[in-house]
Amino acid sequence: MNLTELNRIATAMVVSGKGILAADESSGTIKKRFDAIGVESTEENRRDYREMLFRAKDAMSQYISGVILYDETIWQDAKDGTPLVKLIEESGAIPGIKVDEGTQALPMCPGELVTVGLDKLAERLKKYYERGARFAKWRAVIDIGSGIPSMTAISVNAHALARYAALCQAAQIVPIVEPEVLMDGDHDIDRCYEVTQRVLNKTFQELRVQRVALEGMVLKPNMAISGKKCPKQASVEEVAEKTIRLLKACVPAAVPGIAFLSGGQSDEEATAHLNAMHKLGLLPWGLTFSYGRALQAAPQKAWSGRPENVAAGQRAFSHRARMNGLASKGEWQSSLEQKAA
Ligand code: 13P
């Protein structure tokens, strides 16, 4: 393992002004997104859609540090035969790959999940590296509800995240460690804070036990935020203040960077929250976005599967990428959104 190189890549992934495009929707998830815009989820349509994003030159070169791909996409070529990975590299962004294989029901723990995909991971990582991937992603899912999460679910998911991270570093790939506490429930922000604190503490404990080099990883957490169905929604300032307090308490300064998931927040909320965090003063790590939905909802709608809408789709993507790039420096203002509209 060359830790200097892993650290260089992790630092580049969270450089100020840029963030990560999470375009690693599994075939099931992208079908849901395409259903919403009336597009059939064929291999060709999925390729055309992602090619549109990766060819959005301005957005990709100025605001996107890395792209997380799904297995199908990393092997696909653009219409003209150029590998999609090449398009990403040529824009100056780093290609990455989702390597978990989704979730399974966790035995003995009703309603809880464990992320799988460790079998043969070492071999798969080798092939992905040869194809150009320099970082990977593994997402653990923790749900908040009555009586959950259990310590069992937190602990087995943290163990798997650390196993994955160690395998990545041995393969000279930077692991994005993503323990996502879902925002789907009716819990308030303080319950989210308390659960996320337990999850992050357990995750870093496992990372240490399994000898993962913190200098060569990126953390992808949820924000401390109210559940979607909670009647009392915390303000932008409260989300920012509690999220930073939580991360400072749990994430060692050796970690080069933190890149948030959007998790079902609206486009503008996700941007406003990141921006407000940067207004709170200097931070010990890079802090940026690794958004899926909050970067892609607008371009998906603008594109709607029509070749004549490619330019409009790219404009919508460029706008959201720029807004989030500014937010990663604390330079975003809501008036910039209205101007674009
Ligand atoms: P969202 O930003 O849509 O939550 O997706 C990010 C991601 O990669 C989740 O694993």
Domain ranges of the chain: 3-340
Output the pLDDT for position 338: 81
**Which residues fall within 8 angstroms of residue 111, CB to CB, at 6 or more apart?**
143, 145, 148
Cβ atoms of 77 and 83 within 8 Å: the answer is yes
Q: What is the mean pLDDT of residues 325-340?
A: 92
Ligand 1 centroid from CA 262, angstroms: 6
Output the pLDDT for position 65: 99
* Residue 220 known to be catalytic: yes
- Asked if pLDDT for residue 205 goes beyond 70, the answer is yes
The identity of residue 257, as a single letter, is G
Q: What is the mean pLDDT of residues 75-83?
A: 98
Output the pLDDT for position 269: 98
| Nearest CA residue ID for atom 10, ligand 1 | 139
Ligand 1 centroid from CA 178, angstroms: 9
Pocket flag, ligand 1, residue 292 (CB < 6 Å): yes
Q: Which two tokens stand for residue 338?
A: 């209205």
- Asked if pLDDT for residue 155 goes beyond 90, the answer is yes
| Nearest CA residue ID for atom 9, ligand 1 | 261
**For the segment 97-111, what is each residue's pLDDT rounded down to a tens digit?**
999 999 999 999 999
Pocket flag, ligand 1, residue 66 (CB < 6 Å): no
**Which residues fall within 8 angstroms of residue 135, CB to CB, at 6 or more apart?**
9, 10, 13, 66, 68, 94, 96, 97, 168, 173, 174, 175, 176, 218
* Residue 127 known to be catalytic: no
Pocket flag, ligand 1, residue 265 (CB < 6 Å): no
Q: Cα–Cα distance between 213 and 162 in angstroms, integer?
A: 11
Banded model confidence at residue 265, pLDDT cuts 50, 70, 90: very high
Output the pLDDT for position 340: 62
- Asked if pLDDT for residue 253 goes beyond 90, the answer is yes
- Asked if pLDDT for residue 339 goes beyond 80, the answer is no
Closest approach atom of ligand 1 to CA 68: 8
Orientation angle between helical segments 293-303 and 27-36, nearest 10 degrees: 50
CATH superfamily of 3-340: Aldolase class I (3.20.20.70)
Ligand 1 centroid from CA 295, angstroms: 10
Output the pLDDT for position 300: 98
